[in-house]
Amino acid sequence: MTIKLHNTKSRKKEVFAPIDPDNVRMYVCGPTVYDRAHLGNARPVVVFDVLYRLLRHTYGADHVTYVRNFTDVDDKINARAAESGRSIGEITAETTQWFLDDMAALGALEPNHMPRATQYIPQMITMIGDLIERGHAYAAEGHVLFAVDSWREGYGRLSGRSVDDMIAGARVEVAPYKKNPMDFVLWKPSSDDLPGWDSPWGRGRPGWHIECSAMAYELLGESFDIHGGGNDLMFPHHENEIAQSCCAHPEGDFAKVWMHNEMLQVEGKKMSKSLGNFFTVRDLLEGNWSGGWKVPGEVIRFVFLSTHYRKPMDWTESTAKSAIEELARWYRYPGFMQGNNSEPAEGILTALVDDLNTPEVLKILRDLAKQSAYDELFASLRFLGFSGKWFFDLLPSEETSRRIRKLVSDLDRFRDEKNYAAADELRGGLAAAGVQVRSSKGVSEFSVSPDFDPSKLEAL
């Protein structure tokens, strides 16, 4: 199948033709590791995990190289270390593992390479030196800055703005050592209490943008296929990456296709701590959010896929509840864990190769469920990163199931005897334990929620 992807650089959907089909290469900007990943941080992880799965299926798992970095040298990390009294290395090691654990809970595969910025300082210093030598950067007062005027013909193409427009509309750091307000830092000095490395320009540390250019070059080469990230990174981060990479390595084109996911809202509003609607992925997984219930990682993934990646996504409690009900209903069908079909439904692939049309993918999954095409449904779910483990881990033991069935039978008997007070009390106790009871035509069935607590059945 022919893959078509929307290229931010050309502003249109294009047929994807890899530079080398035997080594399809993708770079996605990763997190700055100073705290837990919030829900917005997780969206690009899921978006590009789906693309990674599609590329692996199309070209073969051994022919795809996926790189996602960790920024582990940053002023936010320095500030967290200063306020907590902990070492920078301890903080970044802990928060990096947090990120990996939380993204694994969302069903995301680990990339082939997950470089940390601090592992590539020598490569950054080399690239900065090359930029100075080529006339694209200059040293000033312990800093090294990229000279935007040296590449005016290319700067701004990704975001579609001229340098003059960007100067007028951007909040840029004004510094006496800058030749142009838009010039950005490649290297900056470090005091004794901050992380620093020796360089030709003095002890210091890299600017933010240079790390991705250096790591992409070392791991993927001067030209590669896809660069992804949230659209909040388009300017200045990605614009600056292009400038310094193309100027340091003019023999290459850096990234051929640029893909950006839109931002996330919560209940129709921008997520922010001041509005009380800010929460991390771990908050959702553990139930420490406004909804108050534990959200399985696969449910977060399902909600993300319900909106196309290039459209703003609105996280709501109602969509999360609908997602958990739908997934649980599918997992209750017989044979999920024993499914032999390893190929997703053809319609699933047709939707994905059309610029990752995940809303259409979910529509096809629902059609497969209605048609009782369980083998195709289950194979498609597994291909999309849904294992069902959270659901099967929830299932009560046989002894507990017998206990619940006895209580549900009591509930039916109370209802038949018109003892509604007893029925209501028992139904409430079951609900408090995380057992939902549905009655139809005199027959009751039960299911358990992610908050199921068998110990609460003892008092019933």
pLDDT digit string (tens) for 360-410? 999 999 999 999 999 999 999 999 999 999 988 888 888 898 899 999 999
Q: What are phi and psi of 50, to 5 degrees?
A: -65, -45
Spatial separation of the C-alpha atoms in residues 159 and 8, rounded to whole Å? 8
Residues of the chain with CATH 3.40.50.620: 4-261
Q: What percent of the chain has pLDDT above 70?
A: 96
pLDDT band at 304 (very low <50, low <70, confident <90, very high): very high
pLDDT score, position 445? 79
pLDDT band at 237 (very low <50, low <70, confident <90, very high): very high
ω before 236 within 30° of 0 (cis)?
yes
pLDDT score, position 446? 83
- Kindly list the strands in the beta sheet with 137-140, ordered across the sheet, starting from the edge strand earlier in the chain: 137-140, 143-146, 184-189, 204-206
- Contacts by residues 358-364 (CB-CB < 8 Å, ≥ 24 positions apart): 358/50, 358/304, 358/305, 358/306, 358/307, 358/308, 358/309, 359/305, 359/306, 359/307, 359/308, 361/305, 362/302, 362/305, 362/306
pLDDT score, position 114? 98
pLDDT band at 171 (very low <50, low <70, confident <90, very high): low
pTM: 0.91
**Mean pLDDT value across residues 273-280:** 88
In three-state form (DSSP H/G/I as H, E/B as E, the rest C), the secondary structure along 413-442 is HHHHCCCHHHHHHHHHHHHHCCEEEEEECC
Distance of alpha carbon 151 from its chain centroid, rounded? 32
Q: Max Cα separation, the chain?
A: 90
Whether the per-residue pLDDT at 168 is higher than 60: the answer is no
pLDDT score, position 396? 86
pLDDT score, position 170? 55
Three-state SS at 355: coil
pLDDT score, position 276? 83
Q: What is the pLDDT of residues 132-160, one digit of tens each?
A: 999 999 999 999 999 999 998 899 999 88
**Per-chain mean pLDDT for the chain:** 93
**Mean pLDDT value across residues 74-83:** 93
Asked if 74 contacts 34 with a C-beta cutoff of 8 angstroms, the reply is yes
Under DSSP, the state recorded for 62 is G
pLDDT score, position 164? 72
Lowest-confidence region among 60-74, 131-145, 173-187: 173-187
Q: Where are the alpha helices (DSSP H) in 60-159?
A: 75-84, 88-105, 121-133
DSSP 108-131: PPPPSB--BGGGGHHHHHHHHHHH
Asked if 228 contacts 259 with a C-beta cutoff of 8 angstroms, the reply is yes
User: Do the strands 12-15 and 24-28 form a parallel or antiparallel pair, or are they unpaired?
Assistant: unpaired
Asked if 156 contacts 239 with a C-beta cutoff of 8 angstroms, the reply is yes
**Mean pLDDT value across residues 39-63:** 97
Spatial separation of the C-alpha atoms in residues 283 and 273, rounded to whole Å? 13
pLDDT band at 434 (very low <50, low <70, confident <90, very high): confident
pLDDT score, position 3? 98
pLDDT score, position 338? 62
**Mean pLDDT value across residues 241-267:** 97
Q: What is the pLDDT of residues 443-459, one digit of tens each?
A: 777 888 877 888 899 88
Three-state SS at 68: strand
Residue 86: Cβ within 10 Å count: 12
Length of the chain: 460
Spatial separation of the C-alpha atoms in residues 186 and 199, rounded to whole Å? 12
The fold for domain 4-261 equals: Rossmann fold (3.40.50)
Whether the per-residue pLDDT at 169 is higher than 60: the answer is no
pLDDT score, position 298? 97
pLDDT score, position 210? 97
Quick one: tokens of 169?
A: 């509309």
pLDDT score, position 173? 65
Whether the per-residue pLDDT at 167 is higher than 70: the answer is no
pLDDT band at 266 (very low <50, low <70, confident <90, very high): very high
Spatial separation of the C-alpha atoms in residues 421 and 419, rounded to whole Å? 6
**Mean pLDDT value across residues 78-103:** 95
Spatial separation of the C-alpha atoms in residues 184 and 146, rounded to whole Å? 5
Q: Which residue has the higher pLDDT, 304 or 153?
A: 304
pLDDT score, position 96? 97
Three-state SS at 349: helix
Quick one: tokens of 308?
A: 């196309």
Q: What percent of the chain has pLDDT above 90?
A: 77
Q: Which of 68, 72, 86, 82 is nearest to 34 (CA)?
A: 72
